[in-house]
Amino acid sequence: MSQLAGQPILILKEGSSRSRGRDAQGANIAAAKAVANAVRTTLGPKGMDKMLVDTIGDVVITNDGVTILKEMDIEHPAAKMMVEVAKTMDDEVGDGTTTAVVIGGELLKQAEELLEQNVHPTVIAHGYRMAAEKAAEILNDMAVNVKANDTQMLVKIANTAMTGKGAEASKDKLNNLVVKAVTMVADEDGTVDIDNIKIEKKVGGSIDDTEIIEGMLVDKERVHPAMPKKVENAKILLLNASVEFKKTEVDAEINITSPDQLQAFLNEEERMIKAIVDKIIKSGANVLFCQKGIDDIAQHYLAKAGIMAARRVKKSDMEKLARATGASVVSSIDAISAQEMGKAGVVEERKVSGEAMIFIEKCENPKAVSIIVRGGTEHVVDEIERALDDALNVVAVTIEDKKFVPGGGAPEIEVSLKLRDYAASVGGRAQLAIEAFASAMEIIPRTLAENAGLDPIDMLVELRAAHEKGKKNVGINIFASKTSDMLKEGVVEPLRVKTQAISSASEVAVMILRIDDVIAASKMSKEEAPMPPGGMGGMGGGMGDMGGDF
């Protein structure tokens, strides 16, 4: 609203709200801190779980940061920005979501104290950017190299990601599964696409029944009961064309005037389908996976020929089958040939929890694998899947980058100490922001200690003392309630998890700090909502006829 000769001029629509300056900054920082506090208690091996109930009563029990934030119904725009940080971490690295959000919240808390001392937000933002760049350098210096075939170290990295999740009881078995799966699908150039590892959930059995299939698992059954249930030395044909008679592209009518003509038409239809099946049989295939439909007559002929077939297989499954078996997906019946076939030691239909599934196993050097997750209840299976997803991602990232850092709060304390030295060399007001960034980094070891029921001040003092003596790998050993060398304890994390968490947290903190004006449009009530085209149903022209009565 502006004033002109005593007359107020309305710029914003009625009902809009506007807050600026300190009020806007204070509200945004408070919202972001609230999000960070919501997930803070889940951090670390002794972190607690959250139960989330949605509007229709579905329950999710987890301590996975990004899952919690996605399930929470958040409305405040600044709080939504913190949720975006978690989503970015999940997409980029697959783990460290809670770490990023907690650091982001603490950076804003430290900035709030500087704002009260009248340090300008742009000065804080500049200092934070400098500190984030320096932190990345410090972490790179700390990082230890690892070879892609060092399975022992990769198991430790998977173990760190899995600790504190619901899978803890069977984590030794699951860690080995994860490392085996990732190393199998890794390409020769060192890149790993986690999408080539299919996770199939089935409620029933125990977590220990979770297994890896060196090949593929397709959630389909044979199309015909007379088909073989098990095929050894399988020659697999992947077909992206329907095994049915072709319908005309244009609308056409066929006039049949006698029963003989009808019979001839049906015979021709059957002959066309048999010709397609004959091509499949001639190619030597004994297993067929079809992305489209298989006609009833075709099913009969395939079953007679002893070919196992499944239809309407998902496109993603077809792609993984191609990688696992070495087959090519054929898009035309005429293109079927022996060269396009894939191989597998055995293809078998088995029942899992009462549902038929097709297992494609004993593939030679499969570049796509499946993990079948078992557990006593749906909530357990879901949480195991989230734990496996985190572990698969961190192992993949380690194989790609070939670098890891110690865990247990060691990198954060090292960054904090080195940043304080760096701040002194920078000088000026930016020094205050860099020191605030250094203090914010200590939130991770502090939270780890708090969540484990340890005294955070004692732990921080011990950690600082050790790092000042040059013991940069010392972190909090939560299970022994003391500080110790994290590399010797096997608590290790990929370098990218830490660098991405710090850069994402600092970026969101800077973005929120630079906002000094929040203009919110008015929320439309149901009465104000725009009418659908043509007015309200059933009220045709009735409203207009009432004009004369008023």
**Per-residue pLDDT, 542:** 43
Domains of the chain, by residue range, sit at: 9-144+409-434+469-474+492-517, 217-365
Assess whether 151 carries a catalytic annotation. Answer: no
CATH topology of domain 9-144+409-434+469-474+492-517: GROEL; domain 1 (1.10.560)
**Per-residue pLDDT, 543:** 44
- Cα separation, 10 vs 520, whole angstroms: 15
Pull the structure tokens for residue 7. 């007359």
| Contact indicator for 195, 416 with CB cutoff of 8 Å | no
Contacts of 458 (CB under 8 A, 6+ apart): none
- Cα separation, 489 vs 482, whole angstroms: 12
Nearest to 349 by CA among 177, 243, 234, 205: 234
The tally of CA atoms less than 13 A away on the side-chain side of residue 538 is: 0
Angstrom CA distances, 536 to 52, 472, 525, 530, 549, stand at: 38, 70, 17, 11, 21
- Cα separation, 234 vs 236, whole angstroms: 6
Length of the chain: 550
Helix/strand/coil percentages in the chain, nearest 5 = 50, 20, 30
Nearest to 178 by CA among 385, 345, 487, 405: 385
Q: What is the CA radius of gyration of the chain?
A: 31
- Strand locations in 10-114, DSSP E? 17-20, 50-53, 59-62
**Per-residue pLDDT, 8:** 63
Choosing from 42, 62, 64, 382, which is the catalytic residue?
64
pTM metric for this prediction: 0.80
- Cα separation, 326 vs 32, whole angstroms: 49
Return the residue matching tokens 């903190």.
509
Choosing from 88, 97, 163, 499, which is the catalytic residue?
97
Vertex 26 angle, CA 117 and 415, to 5°: 65
**Per-residue pLDDT, 10:** 61
**Which strand (E) or helix (H) includes residue 511?**
helix 495-513
Nearest to 130 by CA among 435, 526, 531, 445: 435
Domain 217-365 has CATH 3.50.7.10: yes
Neighbours of 218 (CB within 10 A): 22
3-state secondary structure 131-170: HHHHHHHHHHHHCEECCCCCHHHHHHHHHHHHCCCCCHHH
**Per-residue pLDDT, 15:** 65
- Cα separation, 418 vs 438, whole angstroms: 8
Q: Residue 442: what are its φ and ψ, rounded to 5°? A: -75, -5
The tally of CA atoms less than 13 A away on the side-chain side of residue 147 is: 4
Assess whether 62 carries a catalytic annotation. Answer: no
Cα torsion 459, 460, 461, 467: sign: positive
Q: What is the DSSP letter of 477?
A: E
**Per-residue pLDDT, 251:** 66
- Cα separation, 460 vs 447, whole angstroms: 11
**Per-residue pLDDT, 81:** 87
| Contact indicator for 360, 235 with CB cutoff of 8 Å | no
Assess whether 88 carries a catalytic annotation. Answer: no
Q: Do β-strands 403-406 and 144-145 pair in parallel, antiparallel, or remain unpaired?
A: antiparallel
- Cα separation, 126 vs 111, whole angstroms: 12
Assess whether 64 carries a catalytic annotation. Answer: yes
Nearest to 387 by CA among 196, 178, 203, 195: 178
Choosing from 62, 88, 98, 210, which is the catalytic residue?
98
For every one of its 550 residues, what pLDDT tens digit does the chain have, with 9 covering 90 and above?
A: 455 555 666 666 766 777 777 788 888 888 888 888 988 998 888 888 889 888 888 888 888 888 888 888 888 888 888 888 888 888 888 888 889 999 999 999 999 999 888 888 899 999 999 999 999 999 999 888 888 788 888 888 888 888 877 666 677 888 888 888 888 888 877 788 888 888 888 888 788 888 888 888 888 888 888 888 888 888 888 988 888 766 655 666 767 777 777 777 677 777 888 888 888 888 888 889 998 888 888 888 888 888 899 999 988 888 888 888 888 888 888 888 888 888 888 988 888 878 888 988 888 878 888 888 888 888 888 888 888 888 888 888 888 888 889 988 899 999 999 999 998 888 788 899 999 999 999 999 999 999 888 899 999 999 999 999 988 889 998 888 888 888 888 889 899 999 999 999 999 999 988 888 777 776 655 445 555 555 444 444 444 444 444 3
**Per-residue pLDDT, 96:** 84
**Which strand (E) or helix (H) includes residue 36?**
helix 22-40
3-state secondary structure 370-398: EEEEEECCHHHHHHHHHHHHHHHHHHHHH
Q: Do β-strands 287-290 and 230-239 pair in parallel, antiparallel, or remain unpaired?
A: parallel
Choosing from 90, 317, 389, 390, which is the catalytic residue?
390
